[in-house]
Amino acid sequence: AQKVTQAQTEISVVEKEDVTLDCVYETRDTTYYLFWYKQPPSGELVFLIRRNSFDEQNEISGRYSWNFQKSTSSFNFTITASQVVDSAVYFCALLKAAGNKLTFGGGTRVLVKP
Amino acid sequence: EPEVTQTPSHQVTQMGQEVILRCVPISNHLYFYWYRQILGQKVEFLVSFYNNEISEKSEIFDDQFSVERPDGSNFTLKIRSTKLEDSAMYFCASSLSRGAQGGYNEQFFGPGTRLTVL
- Mind listing the pLDDT tens digit for each residue in B39-71? 988 999 999 999 999 999 999 999 999 999 988
CB B115 within 8 A of CB B26: no
What number of other Cβ atoms are within 10 A of residue A36's Cβ?
Answer: 22
Question: Both ends of chain A: CA-CA distance in Å?
Answer: 41
pLDDT score, position B101: 57
pLDDT over 80 (residue B1):
no
pLDDT of residue A79: 96
Mean pLDDT confidence for B72-80: 93
What residues of B are in contact with residue A95 (Cβ under 8 Å)? 99, 105, 107
Percent of chain A exceeding pLDDT 70 equals 100
Query: Is the minimum CB–CB distance between B90 and chain A shorter than 8 Å?
Result: no
Does the pLDDT value for residue B80 go beyond 90? Answer: yes
Helices (H) and strands (E) in chain A, counts: 0, 12
- The rounded distance, in Å, linking the Cα atoms of B90 and B77 is 9
Read off the pLDDT of each residue in A36-47 and give the average, rounded to a whole number: 92
- Quote the minimal CA–CA distance from A49 to chain B in Å: 9
Q: What is the pLDDT of residue A53?
A: 86
What's the CA gap between A46 and B97, in Å, rounded?
18
Closest residue in chain B to residue A109, using alpha carbons only? B40
Q: What residues of chain A lie within 8 A of the CB of B102, using their CB?
A: 52, 97
Which member of B35, B100, B102 has the closest CB to residue A98? B100
